[in-house]
């Protein structure tokens, strides 16, 4: 009997003590609950950085000292995680490493799933989120791998604090059509290659939500944005050889910008199809239709994929594809209304024809005049998509002083009670 009890104890010790989320490290989890691996050492201790958003008494710490680039520690939970409603794991993290350090959370059990998230601050606490929308109910281990990809050296820069590990609701899994409106859907986007995307208010149409994409000056040629989380859409995109089109409403600062759309299987990134088109407007919204029956050069044909039984449930968009950010310079784009099939611009957006701007070009002032309606708002953008001036005059006539602007081409969006107008304006 004693031998049986000893073996039972050793088995429990080797696999860790089970817990459940949320975990705040005040009393529910101790150092003994962690299972360290490959150079990671976890402890629960008094909070050495009791400031900012985290003034709790206890936190967890992982020190990475040698071992492998995936060194870390993990915790066994009482039961398998259910992401049907609360699809995102969040926690507070403190590191002194530079912004952009990769913090990996991996789930293990019947299989494995992992997400990488870069830090956005250094030397202070931040709340980080790992989105597991669509994940199966298969995992009971939560694995912490901080500064993934590098080997730790045991110094303060290889020491990480974390606290308040929990699941939260961020919305239902996204599905086509995607309009980025409402509060019940998870409109998280996933950037790669140097893009920076965010859900914002449409700068040209009041009350409309869109995705703003900044292709930074450090972006790769293939920098892009996945429309949703790495789980993809809730249902497959119903592409066939005879019904092979998707459409996206886009805003580009320049006509002729190459815009690529890629579809793939979220469970197999080798199953892809890509196609490409070009913007036709300088600083204006337009609908671009992408026909996957005409694949981009060097990419897999839709016919090939379908003949092999491939399915597609994820889409990514690439602005200024195949051009480095260092060459193009930082530029801002917007997109909205991702749909299967073709579409037209919403009839709710009425193009107003009676707006006049004079003088144009101008070295000092522009005068905006509407003969039939009240001008409610004027927003002026440079060709990089940056808003440089905004006015809410509620009058038929507005004089805009432009002496503070650099010489060049700008785009003015004029909203009236009857609709909107986009005008190219020039500062001499």
Are 2-168 and 190-340 equal in CATH topology?
yes
Per-residue confidence (pLDDT) for residue 419, from 0 to 100: 73
Task: For residue 153, give both structure tokens.
Answer: 């050296």
Per-residue confidence (pLDDT) for residue 344, from 0 to 100: 66
- Structural contact between residues 63 and 147, judged by C-beta atoms closer than 8 angstroms: no
237-289: pLDDT as tens digits: 999 999 999 999 999 999 999 999 999 998 898 999 999 999 998 888 899 99
Using the Cα atoms of residue 301, residue 304, residue 310 and residue 311 in order, give the sign of their dihedral: positive
Q: Which helix (H) or strand (E) holds 6?
A: helix 2-15
Instruction: Give one word for 209, left, alpha or beta, with left for phi > 0 and alpha for psi -120 to 50.
Output: beta
Per-residue confidence (pLDDT) for residue 11, from 0 to 100: 41
Q: Locate tokens 């994929």: which residue?
A: 305
Per-residue confidence (pLDDT) for residue 352, from 0 to 100: 63
In this predicted structure, the answer to whether residue 63 has a pLDDT above a threshold of 90 is yes
Angle, alpha carbons 411-189-306 (nearest 5°): 105
Mean pLDDT of the chain: 89
CATH architecture of the domain with range 190-340? Sandwich (2.60)
- Structural contact between residues 259 and 252, judged by C-beta atoms closer than 8 angstroms: yes
Read off the DSSP letter of residue 54: B
In this predicted structure, the answer to whether residue 13 has a pLDDT above a threshold of 60 is no
> Is 414 in a helix, a strand, or coil?
strand
pLDDT band at 292 (very low <50, low <70, confident <90, very high): very high
Q: Return the bridge partners of 66, or none.
A: 152
Q: Which helix (H) or strand (E) holds 224?
A: strand 224-226
The full set of domain ranges for the chain reads 2-168, 190-340, 355-427
- CA–CA gap between residue 255 and residue 270 (Å, rounded): 32
Indicate the CATH number of 2-168 among 2.60.120.260, 3.40.640.10, 3.30.750.200, 3.40.50.150. 2.60.120.260
Per-residue confidence (pLDDT) for residue 304, from 0 to 100: 96
Q: What is the C-alpha radius of gyration for the chain, rounded to an integer number of angstroms?
A: 26
Per-residue confidence (pLDDT) for residue 32, from 0 to 100: 96
* Residue among 350, 391, 347 nearest 372 (CA): 350
The CATH number that domain 355-427 falls under is 2.60.40.1930
- CA–CA gap between residue 327 and residue 262 (Å, rounded): 23
- CA–CA gap between residue 365 and residue 348 (Å, rounded): 31
pLDDT band at 151 (very low <50, low <70, confident <90, very high): very high
In the chain, the percentage of residues whose pLDDT exceeds 70 is 93
348-396: pLDDT as tens digits: 444 567 788 999 999 999 999 988 888 888 888 877 667 788 888 888 8
Q: In what order do the strands lie in the sheet with 224-226?
A: 190-192, 224-226, 314-319, 258-265, 268-278
Task: For residue 26, give both structure tokens.
Answer: 């005040």
Helix/strand number for the chain, H first, E second? 3, 28
Per-residue confidence (pLDDT) for residue 422, from 0 to 100: 76
Q: What does pTM read for this prediction?
A: 0.65
Residue 2: count other Cβ atoms within 10 Å of its Cβ: 6
- CA–CA gap between residue 133 and residue 211 (Å, rounded): 19
């Amino acid at each position: 009997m004693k031998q049986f009890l000893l073996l039972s104890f050793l088995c429990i010790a080797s696999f860790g003590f089970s817990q459940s989320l949320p975990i705040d490290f005040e009393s529910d989890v101790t150092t003994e609950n962690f299972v360290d691996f490959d150079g990671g050492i976890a402890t629960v201790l008094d909070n050495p950085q009791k400031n900012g958003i985290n003034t709790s008494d206890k936190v967890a710490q992982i020190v990475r000292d040698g071992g492998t680039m995936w060194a870390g520690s993990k915790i066994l939970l009482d039961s398998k995680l259910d992401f049907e409603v609360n699809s995102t794991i969040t926690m507070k993290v403190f590191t002194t490493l530079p912004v952009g350090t990769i913090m990996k959370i991996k789930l293990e059990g019947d299989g494995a799933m992992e997400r990488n998230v870069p830090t956005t601050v250094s030397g202070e606490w931040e709340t980080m989120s790992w989105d597991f929308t669509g994940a199966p109910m298969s995992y009971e281990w939560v694995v912490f791998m901080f500064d993934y990809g590098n080997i730790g050296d045991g110094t303060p820069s290889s020491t990480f604090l974390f606290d308040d590990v929990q699941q939260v609701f961020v919305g239902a899994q996204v599905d086509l059509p995607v309009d980025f409106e409402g509060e019940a859907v998870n409109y998280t986007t996933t950037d790669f290659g140097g893009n920076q995307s965010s859900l914002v208010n449409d700068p040209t149409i009041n009350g409309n939500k869109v995705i703003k994409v900044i292709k930074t000056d450090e972006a790769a040629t293939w920098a892009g944005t996945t429309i949703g989380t790495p789980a993809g859409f809730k249902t497959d995109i119903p592409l066939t050889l005879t019904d092979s089109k998707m459409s996206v409403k886009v805003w580009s600062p320049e006509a002729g910008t190459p815009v690529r759309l890629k579809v793939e299987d979220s469970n197999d990134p080798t199953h892809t199809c890509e196609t490409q088109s070009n913007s036709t407007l300088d600083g204006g919204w337009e609908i671009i239709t992408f026909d996957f029956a005409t694949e981009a050069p060097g990419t897999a044909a839709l016919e090939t994929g379908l003949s092999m039984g491939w399915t597609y449930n994820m889409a990514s968009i690439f602005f200024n594809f195949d051009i480095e950010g260092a060459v193009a310079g930082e530029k801002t784009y917007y997109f909205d209304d991702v749909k299967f099939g073709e579409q037209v611009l919403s009839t709710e957006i009425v193009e107003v024809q009676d707006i006049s701007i004079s003088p144009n070009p101008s070295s000092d002032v522009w005068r905006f005049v509407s003969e039939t309606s009240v001008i409610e708002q004027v927003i002026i953008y440079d060709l990089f998509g940056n808003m440089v001036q905004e006015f809410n005059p509620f009058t038929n006539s507005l004089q805009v002083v432009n002496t503070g602007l650099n010489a060049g081409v700008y785009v003015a969006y004029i909203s009236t009670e009857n609709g909107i107008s986009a005008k190219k304006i020039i500062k001499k």
